Amino acid sequence: MRKTESFSISHLIDHGHFGLECEHLRVDNKGRLALTPHPRALGNKQANPEITTDFSESQPELITPVTSSISEMRAHANRLLTVIFNGISDDELLWPLSSPPVPLPPDEQIPIADFGPEGKDKNDYRIYLSKKYGRRKQLYCGVHFNFSFSENLLAGAERRSRFYLNLAAHAMRYRYFLVHLLAASPETIDSVSYRSARLSRHGYRNTEPVYPDFSSPESYIHSLQRAVSDGKIEGPRELYQLVRIKGAGFEDLSSAPNASRIELRVPDLNPLFLPGINPQDLYLMHLYLLWCARQEPSPFTEADQRQADALADEASLLHASDSFTHKMNERFHVLRLFLQKNKLPDAYGEALNAAETRWRDVRLSYPAQISAQTAADPLIALKWANQMKNAYLHPAPHPQVK
């Protein structure tokens, strides 16, 4: 069995790159989905590398440039949100939650993003998704955290691809930890209460499960090729998993494998913080990835993946079972030991402490806070949206939605 890479944690922290993607829905001043075109002031969605649209014409997505620190990444995210707020109509807002506002227009009236003749592939893909999954499901919004380790530490495509494959396997295996902590779209569906509708079985899921072969980069790519041939997915971009490997081969299925980064697609939009995520949760995700990167390679079979899926589903539920509670406590313990052993900067310990405090006191969890404020004021989501717009158009030194 291959051993884990030998470089130190300090090298991993000091030689990495970060990127953030945030999706929102444009709504009018009454909280109804905006049916207007993507604002001209935001540029050509096909050509703008920083602001585009996701599935819907009403769904702007910001993409930060690659940065060398979390703080720099956050600054870019805030800059881009300022651009978006200055570009949308005066009577439009950004919906602050991952779940779309209700009621929505009929499915056929939800506008699909139009990328013009030059974006025919993107247009066709979105039409395909709308027919397969329905348009409403595509309106779930979230935050994607991208991280890459320095290529100087991972010289060579084969070594780099194996490293990211092992990282992705461990991140998928234990993702229940982040799902439970970063869920922030509480909803009751069919009498079941969820911490996150988006992260639950009602959110983004392939119509048929896809279980990649994690035994080698080549096997991983071949297994996705089979899923495409079998009609399960159109391509890697339809692989609705919360952890994705990015890079040649992994994204096009035709090139030799050359992984370049990892993408965590877990966080819900969090209306309690700007720009939709608690800054400490960025450090928590980075800590999680650093820990995953130091784990020895181990098989991640279809049976293992099914078990990980079941745990992630349980993590999305509002109430934790005794067995799940034990697993969460165990994960906190493991990360605490990792933190202490490697003497990581204070920001990582503070992030883990804050997460554990929310875990120990359910009243402090994001779903509990959001549910309590919603119960006290049914229009709170619209107020959060207005507060966010005001914070970016008239910024205070350190704006934060209360």
Q: What is the pLDDT of residue 252?
A: 97
The pLDDT-based confidence of 8 (bands split at 50, 70, 90) is low
The pLDDT-based confidence of 3 (bands split at 50, 70, 90) is low
Q: What is the pLDDT of residue 402?
A: 45
Q: What is the pLDDT of residue 153?
A: 79
Mean pLDDT of the 369-380 span: 98
Q: What is the pLDDT of residue 14?
A: 60
DSSP symbols for 29-82: TTSPBP-SPPPGGG--TTT-SSEEE-SBTT-EEEEPPPBSSHHHHHHHHHHHHH
Any idea which residue has 């066709």 for tokens?
124
Q: What is the pLDDT of residue 342?
A: 93
Per residue in 165-186, pLDDT (tens digit) is 999 999 999 999 999 999 999 9
Q: What is the pLDDT of residue 29?
A: 97
Q: How many domains does the chain have?
A: 1
Structure tokens at 278: 């608690």
User: Does 113 map to a domain?
Assistant: yes
User: Is residue 150 predicted with pLDDT exceeding 90?
Assistant: no
The pLDDT-based confidence of 155 (bands split at 50, 70, 90) is confident
Q: Provide the strand spans (E) within 243-384.
A: 243-248, 258-264
User: Does 401 map to a domain?
Assistant: no
Per residue in 32-55, pLDDT (tens digit) is 999 999 999 999 999 999 999 999
Full-model pTM: 0.95
Structure tokens at 84: 């978006």
Residue 54's domain comprises 9-393
Distance CA 388, CA 386 (A): 5
Distance CA 7, CA 63 (A): 30
Q: Residues of the chain with pLDDT > 90: what percent?
A: 92
Mean pLDDT of the 99-108 span: 97
User: Does 33 map to a domain?
Assistant: yes
User: Does 2 map to a domain?
Assistant: no
* Residue 295 exposed, middle or buried by CB count within 10 Å (0-12, 13-18, 19+): middle
User: Does 4 map to a domain?
Assistant: no
User: Does 90 map to a domain?
Assistant: yes
Mean pLDDT of the 282-308 span: 97
Q: What is the pLDDT of residue 204?
A: 87
Average pLDDT of the chain? 95
Per residue in 333-374, pLDDT (tens digit) is 999 999 999 999 999 999 999 999 999 999 999 999 999 999
User: Does 1 map to a domain?
Assistant: no
Residues whose CB falls within 8 Å of the CB of residue 325, separated by 6 or more in sequence, listed in order: none
User: Does 398 map to a domain?
Assistant: no
Mean pLDDT of the 205-215 span: 97
The pLDDT-based confidence of 1 (bands split at 50, 70, 90) is very low
CATH (domain of 362): 3.30.590.20
Per residue in 14-38, pLDDT (tens digit) is 669 999 999 999 999 999 999 999 9
Q: How far is CA 106 from the centre of its chain?
A: 27
CA angle 106, 109, 112 (to 5 degrees): 130
Mean pLDDT of the 261-282 span: 97
Mean pLDDT of the 137-154 span: 93
